[in-house]
């Protein structure tokens, strides 16, 4: 089942987050602990929520809800387009899923383990 998106706090533009901690910049690097909430391009490595709107790369553990992007790791991933590599639910419009768990796109390729529910492809 699709999880409801929680707090969606996309206020920033670009950035790089590695580690744990609150990170709310326009651009920059953060090392620490916590949430990471950009709006355009970003890279999150570590643990914690990651909620951008456009393009992003998530590696690690935590929610990841972009418009487009690449997810590698463990947790929910709900983009419009993108690639998912890892473990957990993945519910895009188009994309490729590599890993383990449910995958519910409109079009795409599923590689790994889990149910596949597609409209096409």
Tens-digit pLDDT profile for residues 61-102: 445 555 545 544 544 545 544 554 554 454 554 445 444 445
Q: What is the mean pLDDT of the chain?
A: 47
What pLDDT shows up at residue 39?
45
Please say whether the dihedral angle defined by the alpha carbons of residues 16, 67, 40 and 4, taken in this order, is positive or negative. Answer: negative
Check pLDDT > 50 for residue 117: yes
Q: Average pLDDT, stretch 3-22?
A: 40
Strand partners of residue 68: 81
Does the predicted model carry a pTM greater than 0.75? no
Rounded Cα distance between 99 and 95, Å, is 13
pLDDT at 120 over 50: yes
């Amino acid at each position: 089942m699709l999880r409801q998106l929680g707090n969606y706090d996309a206020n920033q533009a670009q950035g790089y987050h590695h580690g744990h901690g609150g990170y709310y910049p326009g651009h920059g690097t953060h090392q620490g602990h916590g949430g990471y909430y950009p709006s355009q391009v970003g890279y999150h490595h570590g643990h914690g929520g990651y909620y951008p709107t456009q393009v992003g790369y998530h590696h690690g553990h935590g929610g990841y809800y972009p418009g487009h992007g690449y997810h590698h790791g463990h947790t929910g991933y709900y983009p419009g387009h993108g690639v998912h590599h890892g473990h957990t639910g993945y519910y895009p419009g188009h994309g490729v899923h590599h890993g383990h768990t449910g995958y519910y796109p409109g079009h795409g390729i599923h590689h790994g383990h889990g149910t596949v529910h597609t409209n096409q492809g």
